[in-house]
Amino acid sequence: MDRTGYRMETVAVHSGEPRPAPEGSVVFPIYQGTVYSIEPGTDYHDIRYIRLNSTPSQRYLHDRLAALEEAEAAVATSSGMAAITSTLLAFLKKGDHLLAGSCLYGGTHDFLTQHAPDLGLGCTFIDDQRPETWKAALRPETKLFLVETITNPLMRVPRLQEVVEFARRERLTTVIDNTFASPVNFRPLSIGFDISFHSATKYLNGHSDLVAGCVLGSRERVERVRRTLNLMGGSLDPHAGFLLARGSKTLALRVRAQNANALALARFLAAHPKVKEVNYPGLETHADHAHARRLLSGFGGMLSLRLKAGTEAARRLIAALRIPYFAPSLGGVETLITQPALSSHAGMKREERERLGVTDDLLRVSCGIESPDDLVEDFGQALEKV
């Protein structure tokens, strides 16, 4: 389906759908076959084979994902970490250097600090709120600039437009993790980012029942990532791809409900006398609210908070809540609460975590699509017991 002129809700439902569909099916089928017949002389990377990310099910999913973010092309991966590592290894070689925002998802941070040096890759973490400091971090071998749209778990919004402008001047490839925002709230390629990637486990799927990732960008850049991915073996199983395609059809509806729930809960918590701080860019008091408002069409379903009484009080709050599950991950239809120091950022050294503000008493909430009134009431009754 030609996506030109359609709004997000329509694109989410119909993008990538061939018409007429196979056998007239409204739902694109699962092609579970491993290998397909080929014509003599076919290039290795064009052989239809699951590991090469080129089967009918995979190509259908890629077209859907590309449409959601208005990209020329996309490739699905077996996880969000497969997406970021394949991208970095596609665009960096031994001896190269990258700039990265200082507060990244723990898995990304661990790869850059614990594994990238063994591959001969250098990384400098920069303050993504201070563009005036970036030039000093450059080296002759700097090739890439990596940031997140909304950082995990403090919900900061980097100076994204300035990242694009700086990278253009310095001829750097720009890569952004758009997981927390989703294509509903932000489309990075539209402001000039070269590559966007997601942990599709989260909002793109939205039902906490698969692990996947994806990379989006121009055809040339995505093909470069796909060929690296092909050699690393991080392809997505066709059945998981089917579930991801199905989940993505309700993306716009889910994310807008999650935006609204997070804003309602953030406002309630920010006004509560037992709450020390709330991190949510939709709050007017948030440090990045002004430029986030210019960049984003919604502020996401994620927030974090600290209580005045500290870590033990945070644990009592978790125990008293009735609706949220105490569980890691995010982006599903159910509300989740976790302590990042024990989950997403557990691999970081304590001093590194605390320097970034990821302290033991920090709680992160992924808002689902429940009634916002019920969520507020549940946090209210739990806070009474703290």
Strand segments (E) across 91-141:
97-101, 122-126
Structure token digits, residue 367: 């808002």
Return all residues near 156 (Cβ < 8 A) that are at least 6 apart. Answer: 103, 128, 129, 150, 279, 281, 287, 288
Residue type, 335: T
Q: How many whole angstroms separate alpha carbon 283 and alpha carbon 238?
A: 40
Kindly report the number of other CB atoms within 10 A of residue 51's CB atom. 16
Structure token digits, residue 210: 């698969």
Q: How many whole angstroms separate alpha carbon 158 and alpha carbon 152?
A: 12
Structure token digits, residue 65: 């994902």
Range 192-196, long-range pairs (CB < 8 A, 24+ positions) = 192/164, 192/165, 192/168, 193/160, 193/163, 193/164, 194/218, 194/221, 195/87, 195/221, 195/222, 195/225, 196/69, 196/71
What are phi and psi for residue 120, nearest 5 degrees? Answer: 85, 20
Q: Which residues carry out catalysis? A: 51, 105, 177, 202
Angle between helices 80-91 and 219-232 (to 10 degrees): 110
Q: How many whole angstroms separate alpha carbon 214 and alpha carbon 224?
A: 14
Residue 18 CA, chain-centre distance (Å), reads: 27
- Minimal CA–CA distance to 54: which of 63, 71, 11? 63
CA-to-CA separations, 262 to 276, 325, 369, 370, 375, in angstroms, rounded:
17, 16, 10, 11, 9
| Gap between the terminal Cα atoms of the chain | 53
Using alpha carbons only, give the angle 16, 17, 23 rounded to the nearest 5 degrees.
145
